[in-house]
Amino acid sequence: MRNDQRQVNHIRPVKITPDYISHPEGSVLIEVGDTKVICNASIEDKVPPFMRGKGKGWITAEYAMLPRATEQRNIRESSKGKVSGRTMEIQRLIGRALRSVVDLDKIGERTVWVDCDVIQADGGTRTASITGAFVAVVLAFGKLLTKGTISKMPVIDYLSAISVGVLSDGKEILDLNYQEDSQADVDMNIVMTGAGEFVEIQGTGEEATFSQSQLLTMLQLANEGIEKVTEYQKETIGALSDRIGETVT
Amino acid sequence: MRNDQRQVNHIRPVKITPDYISHPEGSVLIEVGDTKVICNASIEDKVPPFMRGKGKGWITAEYAMLPRATEQRNIRESSKGKVSGRTMEIQRLIGRALRSVVDLDKIGERTVWVDCDVIQADGGTRTASITGAFVAVVLAFGKLLTKGTISKMPVIDYLSAISVGVLSDGKEILDLNYQEDSQADVDMNIVMTGAGEFVEIQGTGEEATFSQSQLLTMLQLANEGIEKVTEYQKETIGALSDRIGETVT
Amino acid sequence: MRNDQRQVNHIRPVKITPDYISHPEGSVLIEVGDTKVICNASIEDKVPPFMRGKGKGWITAEYAMLPRATEQRNIRESSKGKVSGRTMEIQRLIGRALRSVVDLDKIGERTVWVDCDVIQADGGTRTASITGAFVAVVLAFGKLLTKGTISKMPVIDYLSAISVGVLSDGKEILDLNYQEDSQADVDMNIVMTGAGEFVEIQGTGEEATFSQSQLLTMLQLANEGIEKVTEYQKETIGALSDRIGETVT
Amino acid sequence: MRNDQRQVNHIRPVKITPDYISHPEGSVLIEVGDTKVICNASIEDKVPPFMRGKGKGWITAEYAMLPRATEQRNIRESSKGKVSGRTMEIQRLIGRALRSVVDLDKIGERTVWVDCDVIQADGGTRTASITGAFVAVVLAFGKLLTKGTISKMPVIDYLSAISVGVLSDGKEILDLNYQEDSQADVDMNIVMTGAGEFVEIQGTGEEATFSQSQLLTMLQLANEGIEKVTEYQKETIGALSDRIGETVT
Amino acid sequence: MRNDQRQVNHIRPVKITPDYISHPEGSVLIEVGDTKVICNASIEDKVPPFMRGKGKGWITAEYAMLPRATEQRNIRESSKGKVSGRTMEIQRLIGRALRSVVDLDKIGERTVWVDCDVIQADGGTRTASITGAFVAVVLAFGKLLTKGTISKMPVIDYLSAISVGVLSDGKEILDLNYQEDSQADVDMNIVMTGAGEFVEIQGTGEEATFSQSQLLTMLQLANEGIEKVTEYQKETIGALSDRIGETVT
Amino acid sequence: MRNDQRQVNHIRPVKITPDYISHPEGSVLIEVGDTKVICNASIEDKVPPFMRGKGKGWITAEYAMLPRATEQRNIRESSKGKVSGRTMEIQRLIGRALRSVVDLDKIGERTVWVDCDVIQADGGTRTASITGAFVAVVLAFGKLLTKGTISKMPVIDYLSAISVGVLSDGKEILDLNYQEDSQADVDMNIVMTGAGEFVEIQGTGEEATFSQSQLLTMLQLANEGIEKVTEYQKETIGALSDRIGETVT
């Protein structure tokens, strides 16, 4: 039994509130246990310089935490005047992951800006961000479909993420909360598609290592978690669900 | 009649949700019409270098907007690597205003960090921030009282803020929403105490000017608005209300 | 009697030296008591990106202090690599104030850069900057008139600024010097036109508050001060004085 | 057959030149095919603030490329005034990986600074950096052993890294050069110990995904590659090889 | 004859106004032709970290230009957020030159901050800065002598600077104004002591070169110029002149 | 006899390895004693904004040191987020010196980027950089000649640099190593052409001065050194040697 009474293969309760903020084309509040992230997707009618003239779009992501999303207050990155290495890693990950399931050729020279702002953190903020951002992006494209700006949903498949890890007693667990995360020997974030393909695997053993057998157990747990998370995404997306994948069939 | 059917002397609906984020000592979500700001107050057990050794505390504030709190997405200040002049003005204003009603001699060498993060903007974000931040600070001190860290509520009086302005037709109005604000000739932010004293007056006529008579009408409107906003603060604060002012009597 | 023997409603001696620096289109040294500011106005034949194609001009201001303009040496902002919040507030104020009395539609797509550099400080540097900058801008437009670049003086009315405050004994005073400013409970900067209209009111009671009656006394003092300062401006401007307002009549 | 005539499971020639630069405690030039990285390890007799007073050491890494290490000249990060997200990710990875095989409790309050400077790039610069950095660190500790500063080699096991990937034809390959890397659908970097345990797995499919079966094939290839690379490290390290692991037995 | 009717070996009129700004320990306005520089010397009762505990002092200099000191307005370095290479070169030069004639062992652990702010530029701003800064430093030490903080004038010898150059017609000239400077093939700045020793020689032929014979002619001209400039310094310094060199005799 | 057994007028062994890095158009490793610098010259087919439309080219240089090129590890300038004054001075010097011997009118609107990266430092890194950079630039132009992009070698004359100095015993010496440099009273860097003309003279006596007679002795030593260094350049350049100067004859 874990510190919050979960089984090793249980994820925390997930709640995704659509249309959370009024201005963005797509917006959700995703709650995974006590982790809460506002994910906004904005459509801009141009692409960054390196993409111009190719007739295709781009997706980029930014990630931040409110200073007091955490137990100890963090210095605001705008005050420090620079973005930390951790933030950069996470926002590069979110953008890369989303691009793997969006048909950028079908959205014209547009940029989707995804903003993931963690307002409360209890572990798994980057995986919650990816899961929530996916829904925000689908909602944003839904708005473009309604307006007739695009004619097909350019999203190829579902995308979500979950963490797995190995506790110091060697036990593999799914969806670590902050307390577990800070005690784990191994921390791994897995991003997968609805079809069960891998998009990203990032496994790290700081001051520890892990075996191939532990890796396989973690991948199996991740697979179970991703399936459940995908269900929550489907519910939130509703009718738009039927249109996912329509550009590839 | 105004664009949202209000009378000139009516404020928008105010809703203050206490204990909104779990980690901070004091936390509220304040909603003033469609403007939504998370105000968190954090207590740190030390003061900045210029205050050390004086046996008294300090209050400082930071203000930010989510990139898509507004109709058009704004570039994140952490990405730009610097804080804008507008942000600096607002956070200096919030900190200064709060310090005017807190008895810094009574809190020991502690810093209160106030973070106002606008998640949705529809005008009046700085005044909503001050109003919400005041409640967050009272709640945070309430927690110190409960723990016995301090023995008296170090808050001298209520503090809240409201905007007033003059529309291009010369009409003075109270609590401008974004559409009104962008069309107004004169924009004025007023910070007042519960006792009706001024803490700050910041009135600006960009490409316009205003007369003493208009000024007096605006001050009268502000006074009415502040009284109503203070009522919302009292309700949220509840029993702690009785302790405000106890260090000065 | 005040620390420099002035009555409460007396301003310090004002001296405005025109054509102080040779290169700028308009240049003055303004001295208000021991406060000395070089105000240069430069005309650039283009506007910033957000103003392009509108057929009108722009005015922007920058403000700085020599490191040893003050009793204690300040670190140079170029060495710190960023401009302080105080500097930003002041330069935004100067630019905004000047724009309120210039008919930007009449100057074509040009930018007026106003540089206010405080070489010696004794309180009231921001108000002296506004007063001096106004003269520098008029002189710069005078040069454009002489060259025939523009045909009418695009300045609608006089513009000047003065500080008022409340000392800790509750006495309201006009034009605070540094010693008074550092002891005052309330500090207010007022920007007015020659016609006696308000352009900006910025009143602050750090760790203090003020009543409506005190406000009205301060406004009355400010009015007296502005009238005297405007006289000094008229003298310096000389014959160009007759052309102020000619675009609106 | 690959573009440089290798089999899918062949690594490029590896050459590690010890004592390449004279000043650092440990220094190597590592060449993996046409990729060349100078890896310097410097011992500093203090630890960063967050580690002070714990009686243990720290390892941190920095990574950079000469502007013309690549086909197109890159702007120098010191000129841009900030380190890119890619650089941050890589230097965090190198430091984390090294810390997993060093017994930080046995080196006292010292910091090992590892500098990996790519002077010529042809793919796999981060994995070559890890492999070379490991040797530089062992050489630096060797110098401390000789001087008697420490009495046991604080390195627990070998550490090296290799890349694997999937080409667009679905073929899994080992140790990608630049041309292969830029065409690959999947790019994975694996860091392993001499004992065959995983330290880091970072697999990414930008605009592509990969299956569990492809993952297992890649892990197998990585395993073969790591074994060969470890041999090159052993040769370079020479007699110090016998002392690796001596703190844990 | 030159563009301002001078002979090749004539310097421009020099005027040094002492006690120009009231706050600094030493302050002058130096005018060399139309070049005007405010030189302030501030005494701080501590030294930078790298000098602590050595029982001796330090001199450092900063240099800046008002944006409109020049014909074209320059962007303020504080706005750019960094100091240009040219500024760095000049301020390093000024500091280094002053340190060569001050007996740092005799001033205790104090820092002399020298600020050279060019308010109007017409060539030779760095040499005028050095010449003026020397006087400001002597005046500042004079104040320390008067207060009894130090007992001997710690200045070993006079220090001044002048420019020389070669025009495109091959003619060597002394003390170039801006127009000459922008047309010269060779530009050389010479810093010398009162005793005629060299402190710095910086000669540059951008897109041009110079011979040893030209060099010797330039050095001869510089020598003549330095002698005259030193006379102006002596006059300004007055009675303190007798004390220069008293620590070395 | 000097600390490395050289005569006062002897330079250290020079070795220039051409084509050191594969990607740049021109690349050398220059070794002067224990000082080692990688000099890469890259040709870019455009010029910076201030040079556009003039039909001529530009040469600019950047200089950096590996953190552990020196006895003590230096903080990486990309980590500090800014380039030091020393680095700026050196890279401005290198660029200026190279431009004096290249016929920029003959290279079209192209920029030559010269990168000098010191991998090991033992004094004289800036002079070694200039000497090596010259060869890299010639090799890069050689590549353009071979490709037929330009038809004549646009290099007018040889260019190299050497240091001279005065030891504390008053002895003038040629080509100072680090130990000598750190003890010298006077440090002078001389850049000369193959024809023996001066391009730059930068002589500095920090906390010391020098006489005209010492200057002349140093210039004589520099002359001898430059001649020898030029020979090494000729050897490396080989057949291209014959084409130097062909645009001017």
- Judge whether F94 and F102 are in contact, CB under 8 Å: no
Name all chains with 3 or more CB-CB pairs below 8 Å to chain F.
D, E
Closest CA relative to residue C197, chosen from B203, A231, D37, D234: B203
**What's the gap in Å between the CA of F22 and the closest CA on chain E?**
30
Percent of chain A with pLDDT over 70: 100
pLDDT in tens, F1-41: 799 999 999 999 999 999 999 999 999 999 999 999 999 99
Closest CA relative to residue A161, chosen from A102, A96, A238: A96
**Annotated binding-site residue? A99:** no
Return all residues near F55 (Cβ < 8 A) that are at least 6 apart: F105, F108, F109
pLDDT in tens, D11-56: 999 999 999 999 999 999 999 999 999 999 999 999 999 999 999 9
DSSP code of B18? E
Task: Report, in angstroms and rounded to the nearest whole number, the Rg of chain C calculated over CA atoms.
Answer: 18
Closest CA relative to residue C20, chosen from C39, C44, C42: C39
Q: Which residues of C touch B197 (CB under 8 A)?
A: 205, 209-211
Return all residues near C76 (Cβ < 8 A) that are at least 6 apart: C67, E62, E64, E78, E115
Q: What kind and span of H or E run contains F159?
A: strand F159-166
Evaluate if residue F92 carries a pLDDT over 80: yes
**What's the gap in Å between the CA of E22 and the closest CA on chain F?**
30
Q: Which residues of E touch C77 (CB under 8 A)?
A: 78
Please give the single-letter amino acid code of residue D193: T
- What is the rounded distance in angstroms from the CA atom of residue B129 to the CA atom of residue B210? 26
Q: Among all residues of chain A, which has the CA nearest to that of B38?
A: A119
- Chain F contact present for D17, CB below 8 A: no
Instruction: Please compute, for residue B156, the number of CA atoms within 13 A of its CA located in the half-sphere on the CB side.
Output: 18
Mutation site, B46, B78, B92, interface A, largest A CB count within 10 A:
B78
pLDDT value for C29: 98
Closest CA relative to residue C8, chosen from C167, C138, C174: C174
- Judge whether D163 and D124 are in contact, CB under 8 Å: yes
Q: Strand, coil or helix: what is E241? A: helix
Q: What share of chain A is helix, strand, coil (3-state, %, to 5)?
A: 35, 30, 40
pLDDT value for B138: 98
Contact A21 B78 (CB under 8 A): no
pLDDT in tens, B102-142: 999 999 999 999 999 999 999 999 999 999 999 999 999 99
**What's the gap in Å between the CA of F120 and the closest CA on chain D?**
6
Q: Among all residues of chain D, which has the CA nearest to that of F68?
A: D24
Contact A203 D201 (CB under 8 A): yes
Q: Among all residues of chain B, which has the CA nearest to that of A119?
A: B21
Closest CA relative to residue C219, chosen from E89, F214, B203: B203
Q: Which residues of F touch D24 (CB under 8 A)?
A: 68, 73
* Torsion sign over Cα E225, E227, E228, E233: positive
Instruction: Report residue A55's pLDDT band, with 50, 70 and 90 as the boundaries.
Output: very high
CA A60 from chain centre, in angstroms, equals 13
Closest CA relative to residue D83, chosen from B97, F80, E136: F80
Q: The tokens of F249 are what? A: 């004859």
- What is the rounded distance in angstroms from the CA atom of residue E114 to the CA atom of residue A221? 66
Q: What is the mean pLDDT of residues E60-82?
A: 95
**What's the gap in Å between the CA of C191 and the closest CA on chain E?**
25
List the single residue in A188, A198, A212 with the smallest CB-CB distance to D219.
A212
- What is the rounded distance in angstroms from the CA atom of residue A41 to the CA atom of residue A133? 7
Q: How many helices (H) and strands (E) does chain D have?
A: 5, 9
Q: Which residues of C touch E113 (CB under 8 A)?
A: 67-68, 73
List the single residue in E22, E78, E113 with the smallest CB-CB distance to C34.
E22
pLDDT value for A1: 78
Q: Which residues of F touch D83 (CB under 8 A)?
A: 78-79
The sheet carrying A35-44 orders its strands as A14-18, A26-32, A35-44, A111-120, A58-65
**What's the gap in Å between the CA of D178 and the closest CA on chain A?**
20
- Judge whether B47 and B111 are in contact, CB under 8 Å: yes
Evaluate if residue E87 carries a pLDDT over 90: yes
pLDDT in tens, B145-182: 999 999 999 999 999 999 999 998 899 999 999 999 99
Q: What is the mean pLDDT of residues E160-183?
A: 96
* Torsion sign over Cα C227, C228, C231, C233: negative
- What is the rounded distance in angstroms from the CA atom of residue A115 to the CA atom of residue A94? 10
- Judge whether F191 and F208 are in contact, CB under 8 Å: no
**Annotated binding-site residue? A127:** no
* Torsion sign over Cα F19, F24, F26, F30: negative
Determine the length of chain C: 249
Q: Strand, coil or helix: what is E180? A: helix
Tokens 């074994």 locate to: D227
Q: Which residues of A touch D198 (CB under 8 A)?
A: 203, 205, 209-212, 215
Task: Report, in angstroms and rounded to the nearest whole number, the Rg of chain B calculated over CA atoms.
Answer: 18
Contact F89 E88 (CB under 8 A): yes
Percent of chain B with pLDDT over 70: 100
**What's the gap in Å between the CA of F135 and the closest CA on chain E?**
18
Evaluate if residue D207 carries a pLDDT over 90: no
Q: Residue C108 CB: number of other CB atoms within 10 A?
A: 15
Contact E198 F203 (CB under 8 A): yes
**Ramachandran angles phi, psi of B244, nearest 5°:** -65, 130
Task: Report, in angstroms and rounded to the nearest whole number, the Rg of chain A calculated over CA atoms.
Answer: 18
Contact F100 E205 (CB under 8 A): yes
- Which residues, numbered 18 to 37 in chain B, qualify as contacts with chain A under a Cβ-Cβ cut-off of 8 Å? 21-24, 27, 34
Closest CA relative to residue C106, chosen from C140, C153, C139: C153
Return all residues near C98 (Cβ < 8 A) that are at least 6 apart: C59, C61, C112, C114, C130, C133, C134, C137, C159
Evaluate if residue D249 carries a pLDDT over 90: no
- What is the secondary structure of B121-172 as a DSSP string? -SS-HHHHHHHHHHHHHHHHHHHHHHHTS-SS--B-S-EEEEEEEE-TTS-E
Instruction: Report residue A82's pLDDT band, with 50, 70 and 90 as the boundaries.
Output: confident
CA C16 from chain centre, in angstroms, equals 12
Task: Tell me the average confidence (pLDDT) per consecutive run of 10 residues in chain C, 249 residues long.
Answer: 93 98 98 98 96 96 98 93 93 96 96 98 98 98 97 97 95 97 95 96 90 96 98 96 91
Burial state string for D131-140 with b = 16 or more CB within 10 A and e = fewer than 16: bbbbbbbbbb
Contact E68 C34 (CB under 8 A): no
Name all chains with 3 or more CB-CB pairs below 8 Å to chain A.
B, D
Percent of chain F with pLDDT over 90: 94
- Judge whether C97 and C90 are in contact, CB under 8 Å: no
Evaluate if residue A206 carries a pLDDT over 80: no
**Chain-wide mean pLDDT for chain E?**
96
Instruction: Please compute, for residue C165, the number of CA atoms within 13 A of its CA located in the half-sphere on the CB side.
Output: 25
- What is the rounded distance in angstroms from the CA atom of residue A142 to the CA atom of residue A210? 42
Q: The tokens of E218 are what? A: 């330039």
Mutation site, F193, F198, F206, interface E, largest E CB count within 10 A:
F198
- Chain C contact present for B207, CB below 8 A: yes
Crossing angle between the packed helical segments E85-99 and F85-99, to the nearest 10 degrees: 110
* Residues of each annotated binding site of B: 86, 124-126
pLDDT value for F208: 87
Mutation site, D72, D192, D198, D248, interface A, largest A CB count within 10 A:
D198
Contact B202 C201 (CB under 8 A): yes
Tokens 């201030």 locate to: F50
Q: Which residues of A touch B23 (CB under 8 A)?
A: 68-71, 120
Tokens 């006895």 locate to: F71
Contact E200 F200 (CB under 8 A): no
Q: The tokens of D64 are what? A: 């950079």
Q: Strand, coil or helix: what is A163? A: strand
Mutation site, F25, F62, F73, interface D, largest D CB count within 10 A:
F73
Instruction: Report residue B248's pLDDT band, with 50, 70 and 90 as the boundaries.
Output: confident
Mutation site, A198, A212, A248, interface D, largest D CB count within 10 A:
A198
pLDDT value for C206: 73
- What is the rounded distance in angstroms from the CA atom of residue C91 to the CA atom of residue B88? 13
**Do the interacting molecules here have an ipTM over 0.85?**
yes
**Ramachandran angles phi, psi of B91, nearest 5°:** -70, -30
- Chain B contact present for C206, CB below 8 A: yes
Return all residues near E75 (Cβ < 8 A) that are at least 6 apart: E67
pLDDT value for A33: 98
Percent of chain A with pLDDT over 90: 94
DSSP code of C197? -
- What is the rounded distance in angstroms from the CA atom of residue E159 to the CA atom of residue E34? 22
Instruction: Please compute, for residue C58, the number of CA atoms within 13 A of its CA located in the half-sphere on the CB side.
Output: 17
**Ramachandran angles phi, psi of F230, nearest 5°:** -60, -35
Q: Strand, coil or helix: what is E234? A: helix
Closest CA relative to residue C20, chosen from C110, C135, C120: C135
pLDDT in tens, C10-59: 999 999 999 999 999 999 999 999 999 999 999 999 999 999 999 999 99
pLDDT in tens, A181-204: 999 999 999 999 999 999 999 999
β-bridge partners, B198: B192, C210
pLDDT value for F69: 98
Return all residues near E31 (Cβ < 8 A) that are at least 6 apart: E13, E14, E15, E16, E17
- Judge whether E67 and E117 are in contact, CB under 8 Å: no
**Annotated binding-site residue? E86:** yes
List the single residue in D88, D198, D205 with the smallest CB-CB distance to A205.
D198
Specify the pTM.
0.93
List the single residue in B21, B66, B113 with the smallest CB-CB distance to A120.
B21
- Which residues, numbered 36 to 75 in chain B, qualify as contacts with chain A under a Cβ-Cβ cut-off of 8 Å? 38, 40, 42, 44, 62, 64, 66-71, 73
